[in-house]
Chain A
Amino acid sequence: MSEREPLWREEFSVSKAGERYVNRRQLTKFLTLASLGMFAGNVWILVRSWFRRVHPGTRQVIARVGEVPVGGVKLFAYPAEDDRCILVRTGANDYVAYSQKCTHLSCAVYYSRENDRIECPCHQGYFSIRDGSVLQGPPTRPLPRVMLERSGDDLIAAGMTGD
């Protein structure tokens, strides 16, 4: 008479050593799929970079002189419709304009009149109103600056620097 397998072995037919192999193989498979996901993410960024719209040297009237009070701001889109920028009148005849996208994680920055600086509400990144340089916080790059020209009573955006 042949020796019969105990019932528990029939119910759990995979040996402990075999189960360890399966577990490790499955974890390795999961890690490899995660690696594929990282690669796909990098390819996605590459494709987005290739199809990024470029608007070099576009000239656009963004405000009229006197439209914005001293210490006031005006939001506008430049160079594309979804590239938001902020114009600040810092003096009677002084205007500065920057991209409104924080260089850290693209939150919208705003002008703080009390502190006379541009602030990002997400991670407390502060930028100088004079040149857009980083004063504090996680951003490592200055805000891209919109070059301004004056033509009669018009303020004209004539390009970006630091983009």
Chain B
Amino acid sequence: MDRRYDPRQHRGLTAIDAVMALIAILLAVQMWLLTATLDAYLAGHTEAALPAAIASGILFAVCAALYGFVRTLDREARWKP
């Protein structure tokens, strides 16, 4: 493997950093969503549970897609000649 500085690898790392930041933001939103839903549930209010679960599912799907993107970047930048 070539160990010298590779600008393509550097670009890949920057892209992965950006994706990680985005996933961290989505995760923070999910944490807030879970906390708010649990608080409402414990207070006897269950009407927010379904919309919260759907929103959380969408956020997870976006996170999973971003993770797939990271894997693709990783494969391309590290293993292509």
Contact of A38 with B16 at beta-carbon distance under 8 Å, contacts A46-B50, A49-B46 already known:
no
Contact of A24 with B3 at beta-carbon distance under 8 Å, contacts A39-B60, A103-B43 already known:
no
For chain B, the count of residues having a C-beta within 8 Å of the partner chain is 45
- Comparing A25-33, A88-96, A115-123, the segment that makes contact with chain B is A25-33
Q: Would you give the shortest CB distance from A66 to chain B, in whole angstroms? A: 32
Q: Are A38 and B13 in contact (CB under 8 A)?
A: no
Q: Are B77 and A42 in contact (CB under 8 A)?
A: no
Closest to A52 in B: B46
Q: Which residue of A21, A42, A104 is within 8 Å of B16 (Cβ)? A: A21
Chain A residues numbered 31-47 whose CB sits less than 8 Å from any CB in chain B: 31-32, 34-36, 38-39, 41-43, 45-46
Place the interface of chain A in its size category: 35 or more
Q: Are A28 and B1 in contact (CB under 8 A)?
A: no
Contact of A28 with B46 at beta-carbon distance under 8 Å, contacts A38-B31, A42-B52 already known:
no
Q: Which residue of A15, A29, A42, A103 is within 8 Å of B33 (Cβ)? A: A42
By secondary structure, the B interface counts as helix
Please report the C-alpha to C-alpha distance between residue A34 and residue B52 in the assembled complex, in whole angstroms: 17
Report if A112 contacts B (CB, 8 A). Answer: no
Please report the C-alpha to C-alpha distance between residue A32 and residue B26 in the assembled complex, in whole angstroms: 10
Q: Are A32 and B41 in contact (CB under 8 A)?
A: no
Q: Are A31 and B34 in contact (CB under 8 A)?
A: no
A residues with a Cβ closer than 8 A to B are 9, 15-18, 20-21, 24-25, 27-29, 31-32, 34-36, 38-39, 41-43, 45-46, 48-49, 52, 101, 103-106, 141, 144, 163
